[in-house]
Structure 1
Amino acid sequence: MRSKTSLIALALVAFSAACGAQTYPSRPITLVVPGPPGGATDTLARALAEDMGKRLGQTIIVDNKPGGAGVIAVQAITRGAPDGYTMLLSHSSPLINTPHLYRNVQYDVRRDLSFLTELCIGKIVLAVNRDVPAKSVQELFDWAARNKGKVSYGSYGVGTFPHLVGSHLNQTRGLDMAHIAYKGEAPMVQDMIAGNVSWVIGSMTTLGPHIKSGRVRPLAVISEQRIKELPEVPTLAEAGLKEHELRSPAWFGLFMRSGTPAAILSRLETEARASILSPAMRTRLDALAMEPVGNSPAEFRREFDATEPVIARMIKASGATAE
């Protein structure tokens, strides 16, 4: 009798979930973003919310939760209900770097989040101040080797990808380049233009206008292929730097709370991928110097699993900590 009762209960749960998925979404969805209004992630989120909301027939509300190195935003998802009404749009750092920089991060990405799709990747450039006597990455290394202790590189924070790349190059190339951390990408680039730092790794969004004006010189793009904005600039691999540590995790992804019903995850994945690959979104991404991806959850998870341990090793090797 108990077994029969259990089977009936399970059937009712399954029926309820199926009915919920069929009527989903029946109310507005919240899209949490780990950044302030007006930033690149926010701009992307609002464009996606508008387009994807039309496809779902429901309003998507962007909820900005800056601060805490992204922890506040991620925990809004991991501590919420797995009902499909709260999504996370995040860049890679809160999910890959932050857990290895802070001791008390309470979430586990693999355990607590469901991967929907890698939406897009940012276009990242290694650039130098125009007075630096280097026209290639190798010339930059040669110049740094001749001027040990006198060459500096900037980053937008301890433990960020630019910091880790500089540390990796110091260790593997026997260089002694000083790291200068800034509170954001814009002040980092401005200080390079002023001649206070030799080179940086930054987004095409921020560096593009200064490259066009001639105030900074691009030496390489950190991507699998050359980018249309800088067709003459080689990739790092073309410049001879092929190690995995130098592959930029500059992606923006969409996530749900683990335990969200499979039918809801499937619906959201379908609409998110259709949205990000649509002509309208491609136009918006071009303005943000981003490239659409729109891969499957399995492909996105494989990308995460390949990148996360590499970044973890780089953080450990650099000695970086945010505590």
Structure 2
Amino acid sequence: MRIRALTLVLALAHCVPVFAQDYPSRTITLVVPAPPGGATDVLARVMADEMGKRLKRPIIIDNKPGASGMLGAGAVARATPDGYTLLLTHSSPIYYTQYLFTKMAYDTGRDFAFITEIGAANLVLAVNKNIPVHSVKEFIGWAQKNKGKVNYGSFGIGSGSHLLSAYLSDSYQLDMSHVAYKGEALMTQDLISGQIAVAIGTPGTMGPHLANGSLRALAIMGNQRQAALPDVPTMPEAGFPDLEYQPPGGVLLMAPAKTPAPILALLEKEARAAVQTPAMQTRFHAFGIVGIGNSSVDFRKNYDASGPMIQKLVKVSGAKVD
């Protein structure tokens, strides 16, 4: 009996390496917790094409929008950890929802394997063209003179635009009023028309309006300038080094926890190579995203380090979702 048990243990020990050597042997599904057509979906499709070529297997997209991205993320968290169901997501269901929602269907740190951060989508602080300011410091001075009269927009309660604007208002006692919109497009329209004075949005959406002068960019919310807005300083360059002005945000690649290490290593290698391709770089530029393609170790370190800062942003904003 002992000999048979030992034989079984040895056989099982060899299953994972053999399985990993055969991977992938069939189609891979890339779950995207966003509707078709948006930046996350478009990047996912280019990424799927580039990785599919390298892995010599097709990668199909499965759009699962809903619940701030938690619907799609939850589906991957519960999927079989065999490397055939992956998650390509924006940052909300990974970094932010756990601090905003009172109930979660998954534990981010426990239920996912971190593969790579594909790119960083740093937001931009912008004002209506008629606001007489050209820097963050000038804006704060102007808002203090108009204390309690300034409205800021966001593309949803608990969104990055909401949390960052609330933090700026609280830090300098600006008493700005929050106007939440159902999406960035509506917010941007009202910023252009002057219904709101200031907002934080994506370079991809605001870019054309910044170029034609309808809006004026004051700073990039991060520590790296955007190629699409090379003359716009980062918040640290503008004199605001708080880590809260450099929040995590972007496009992430993940797998279910307990996916075999050899499979994760292969996915990390090919994903990081795909990030460097001309096709991905072209899309990054179009959406105002900075390509990263870091290691899984660095990705996990960034995630672990972000917790206290995000908790602080959420607390200051007062945002909470049942």
For normalisation by structure 1, the TM-score amounts to 0.96
| CA shift for structure 1 position 198 | 0.7
| CA shift for structure 1 position 5 | 4.0
User: Aligned runs of 1:59-208 on 2, under 5 Å?
Assistant: 59-208=58-207
Contact 2:250 2:289 in 1 (8 A): no
Amino acid at match of 2:265: S
| CA shift for structure 1 position 318 | 2.1
Contact 2:124 2:201 in 1 (8 A): yes
Unaligned runs of 5+ in 2: none
Amino acid at match of 2:188: V
Q: Once the two structures are aligned, what percentage of the paired residues are identical?
A: 48
Match of 1:18 in 2: 17
Amino acid at match of 1:36: P
Amino acid at match of 2:294: N
Secondary structure of 2:115's counterpart equals: strand
Match of 2:297 in 1: 298
In angstroms, what is the RMSD of aligned CA positions?
Answer: 1.3
State which drifts further: 227-236 or 47-56: 227-236
Cα separation, 2, equivalents of 1:110 and 1:250: 17
Cα separation, 2, equivalents of 1:174 and 1:280: 45
Secondary structure of 2:281's counterpart equals: helix
Q: Deviations over 1:128-167 (max 9, x none)?
A: 0001111110111011101111111111111111111122
Cα separation, 1, equivalents of 2:23 and 2:253: 18
Secondary structure of 2:87's counterpart equals: strand
Count of aligned residue pairs for this structure pair: 322
Secondary structure of 2:133's counterpart equals: coil
User: Aligned runs of 1:41-52 on 2, under 5 Å?
Assistant: 41-52=40-51
Match of 1:8 in 2: 7
Match of 2:39 in 1: 40
Amino acid at match of 1:211: L
| CA shift for structure 1 position 224 | 1.6
| CA shift for structure 1 position 256 | 0.5
Secondary structure of 1:227's counterpart equals: coil
Cα separation, 2, equivalents of 1:42 and 1:53: 16
Amino acid at match of 1:113: F
Amino acid at match of 2:170: Q
State which drifts further: 310-319 or 133-142: 310-319
Secondary structure of 1:97's counterpart equals: helix
Q: Deviations over 1:190-224 (max 9, x none)?
A: 11001011111111100100011100000111232
Cα separation, 1, equivalents of 2:238 and 2:297: 31
Secondary structure of 1:167's counterpart equals: helix
| CA shift for structure 1 position 55 | 0.4
Match of 1:218 in 2: 217
Unaligned runs of 5+ in 1: none
- CA separation of 1:285 and 1:231: change in aligned 2, threshold 3 A: closer
Match of 2:274 in 1: 275
State which drifts further: 14-23 or 197-206: 14-23
Cα separation, 2, equivalents of 1:10 and 1:251: 43
| CA shift for structure 1 position 99 | 1.4
Which runs of structure 1 show a deviation greater than 3 angstroms over 4 or more consecutive aligned residues?
A: 4-7
Cα separation, 1, equivalents of 2:228 and 2:69: 30
Cα separation, 1, equivalents of 2:279 and 2:157: 36
Amino acid at match of 1:212: A
Q: Deviations over 1:95-135 (max 9, x none)?
A: 12111211110211111000000101124211100011111
Contact 1:124 1:248 in 2 (8 A): no
Amino acid at match of 1:95: I
Match of 1:257 in 2: 256
| CA shift for structure 1 position 10 | 2.5
State which drifts further: 309-318 or 233-242: 309-318
Q: Deviations over 1:256-278 (max 9, x none)?
A: 00111111111111100010112
